[in-house]
Structure 1
Amino acid sequence: MDRGGDRAHRDLVRRGTWPNDPLLNGAAVVRGADLKAIGVPGRTISRRCAPGGPWQRLLPGIVLLHTGQANEEQLLQAALLHGRAGTVLTGIRALQLHGLKNHPAPGDVHILIPEERRIISVGFVHVERTKRLPRPHLRDGLPVAPVPRAVIDAARRLTNPDEIQALMAESVQRRFCTTDMLARELDQAGRTGTALPRKALAPLLAGARSVAEADAWHLWRRSGLPPGHWNVPIFDANGNHIATPDFWCDEIAFAWEIDSYRHHANLDDHRATVARNARYVAAGIVVLQTLPSRLRTEPDQVLSELHAAFRTAQARPRPNVRRAAA
């Protein structure tokens, strides 16, 4: 029996059938090792990934089976293949998959892998080894970190306080998570990169729900005026809802609204604000309206207006209104 001839024949068949293998027909991003496993010779992979060839290397050992720029899904798939089984997407790209909108443009692809796995960051992939690998959620078929973990992982790598504030505020405002969830994630994240996220979380824990309200929270703390409540519903003596002011000082029934031009960009929003203010007046509530931009451009003038409005509210009898119970 010519065993060498049989082996050569098998190799020939193997080389002749790999173009029809399901791996090549069903995926755009594959491991080089998987290509070799279906019979693609290493030299063929190298030749096809050379300039002008029909394939390209996205990462070491990761091949894109076409020319041209990889799309977002293919980049994510390549990152997951780089991390190997059990890898979880996190950070901004994970938040995009969850449906959050208010975030900076994503840079690299941030993945989480088990701490004992010796894989390093390369190309467009940022690898983070962790003892706390989260149980992933599937989004578009991809393993994604839960929102609180993804928010904190993203925030720890950002340096712009407004971007961090906006990211965290949206996750809470749109009920993807709670402030307590974010606080727990921060507590478990250690100290590296957490100073700015902790500062951003403080006004959210107090009840603020946006960057503008966070600015207002910081300014109110400077004012020396009594503490109050953020985003609590207010009712009249008959239990009718009056409004849910951005800030409420229950002691003297004083409301502070941070009203932007954008919020009043259409007629319906304008009508809603006019109706709200009419309810404030009818209930005897003193309200101060402030543009968000002035919280930064004219903070001292806004502080003066706050003190003046506070004195006005303090000087009249408190109306019979109440806030919702905590």
Structure 2
Amino acid sequence: MLIHGPLVVRAAALRAAGVPGRTISRRCGPGGPWQRLLPGIVLLHSGEPTGEQQLQAALLHGRETAVLTGLWALRRHGLERLPPPRDVHVLVSADRRVTSTGFAHVERTRHLPRPHFRNDLPVAPVPRAVIDAARRLTDPDEIQAMMAESVQRRFCTTEMLTRELDQAGRPGTALPRQALVPLICGARSVAEADAWRLWRRSGLPPGHWNVPIFDANGTYIATPDFWCDEIAFAWEIDSYRHHANLEDHRDTVARNARYVAAGIVVLQTLPSRLRTEPDQVLRELHAAFRTAQARPRPTVRRAAA
């Protein structure tokens, strides 16, 4: 028997094409050439299903208006700092009687998003997919990294994420709401979120995150992770990974030279120390801050908001 078309199909579609139900059952049985991926969904070969085939099967299970969301959707959009998906998360309209089964996690919603199509599959917009994924994760760092990447790479804005969180209601939103606060304030990574929380503990004046700094002639100096404009103090969270190659190291040395030439006091901190030595980092922050306060403020400015 020759079957033309997609490898993942509804059993109902096979019957409509003239394949008897007993033939489908026999071919999906032990040792048969086909297999049932989900109830009523058949894969027309017996090998291990690919991720793509699982996506197709979950969407077929959700039926015509189902939309892919969560981690698999974010992969389709091109995000990279994601944990491995445990299942395939699909959205269906609240009035549909479709339930989760196997690897298909089905969520009924009154706010079914208008999908984007990525490789012919209907995918939720990034803000919705981020919040849908975040509500099901339990690791704060995974949530922080995913949300930070979506903002840093301009897939969406913090305002978009806030709207999605407000629409999502309360279940599962406590950790995403905590992760969103430092992003709203300008942090753009897990390490910067850690730094933001530590700065809040410090009792030092508030400042700005990731704002470009210029000298008196309007020449660009740098975009520090944190900037206290009142005393022209910069705080950089510099990881080993960022300096893993010669070019990155050269860029950092050149950046620090521009800070010195402009009279800016800068403190560099390894990300790991924000968690392993927070009290020591706080002492260093206070010491660097006092040093910046003690000298005349150089003529530098931050970019207008």
- Interval of TM-score (by shorter of Structure 1 and Structure 2): over 0.9
Q: CA deviation at 1:148?
A: 0.4
The residue that corresponds to 1:222 in the other structure is: 201
Q: Which amino acid is 1:91 matched to?
A: G
List per-residue Cα deviations over 1:191-214 (Å, max 9, x = no partner).
Answer: 010000000000000000000000
Structure 1 residue aligned with 2:273: 294
- State how 1:172-187 maps to structure 2 within 5 Å: 172-187=151-166
Matching residue of 1:33: 12
Letter in 2 for 1:85: E
Match of residue 251, structure 1, among 220, 230, 237: 230
1:269 counterpart residue number: 248
Matches within 5 A, 1:116-131: 116-131=95-110
The RMSD of aligned alpha carbons is 0.6
Aligned counterpart, 1:194: 173
Matched to 1:68, the amino acid is G
Q: Distance in 2 between matches of 1:209 and 1:150?
A: 19
SS of 1:26 mapped into structure 2: coil
Greater than 4 Å deviation, 4+ residue runs: none
- Decide which structure has the larger Cα Rg and report it: 1
Distance 1:169 1:123 in 2: 31
Q: CA deviation at 1:40?
A: 1.1
Q: CA deviation at 1:189?
A: 0.6
Structure 2 residue aligned with 1:314, among 272, 293, 305?
293
1:39 positional shift: 1.4
Question: d(CA) in 2 for partners of 1:281 and 1:249?
Answer: 16
Letter in 2 for 1:114: S
Determine helix, strand or coil for the equivalent of 1:257. strand
Q: CA deviation at 1:27?
A: 1.1
Partner of 1:204: 183
Alignment match of 1:73 (pick from 26, 37, 52): 52
CA–CA distance in structure 2, aligned partners of residues 267 and 68 of structure 1: 45
TM-score (norm 1): 0.93
Normalising by structure 2, report the TM-score.
Answer: 0.99
Deviations along 1:17-38, one digit per CA (max 9) or x if unpaired, are xx45xxx311101111111111
**Among 205, 213, 230, which residue is 1:234 paired with?**
213
Secondary structure, in 3 states, of the residue corresponding to 1:256?
A: strand
User: What SS class does the counterpart of residue 25 from structure 1 fall into?
Assistant: coil
SS class of match (1:204): helix
User: How many Å apart are 1:72 and its aligned residue?
Assistant: 1.1
Please name the residue that 1:11 is paired with: none
Residue identity matched to 2:147 = M
What is the Cα deviation at residue 41 of structure 1? 1.1
> Deviation of residue 73 (structure 1)?
1.1
The code of the aligned residue for 2:157 comes to T
User: CA offsets per residue over residues 261-309 of structure 1, 9 Å max, x none?
Assistant: 1101111111111111111011110000000000000000000000000
Uncovered stretches (5+) of structure 2, i.e. residues with no partner: none
Which amino acid in 2 is paired with 1:39? Answer: G
1:140 aligns with 2:119: yes
Superimposed CA distance per residue, residues 176-203 of structure 1 (whole angstroms, 9 cap, x where no aligned partner): 1111111111111100100000000000
In the TM superposition, 1:162-177 aligns within 5 A as 162-177=141-156
AA paired with 1:231? N
CA distance in structure 1 between the partners assigned to 2:301 and 2:19 by the alignment? 74
CA displacement 1:23-81 (0-9 Å, x = unmatched) = x3111011111111111111111111100111110011001111111111110110010
Q: Could you tell me how far apart the structure 1 residues matched to 2:53 and 2:245 are? A: 40
Alpha-carbon distance in structure 1 between the residues aligned to 2:13 and 2:259 = 68
1:82 alignment partner AA? H
Query: Partners of 1:54 and 1:269 in 2: how far apart?
Result: 53
The yes-or-no answer on 1:324 pairing with 2:303 is yes
- What SS does the aligned partner of 2:282 have? helix
What is the alpha-carbon distance in structure 1 between the residues aligned to residue 269 and residue 52 of structure 2?
43
Select which of 261, 281, 287 maps to 1:282. Answer: 261
One-letter code of the match for 2:112?
Answer: L
Provide the C-alpha distance between the structure 2 equivalents of 1:233 and 1:51, rounded to a whole number of angstroms: 64
Aligned residue for 1:13? none
Moved more, 204-213 or 30-39: 30-39
1:152-179 CA deviation, whole Å, 9 max, x = no partner? 0000000000000000000111111111
Which residue does the alignment assign to 1:115?
Answer: 94
Q: Which residue of 1 aligns with 2:68?
A: 89
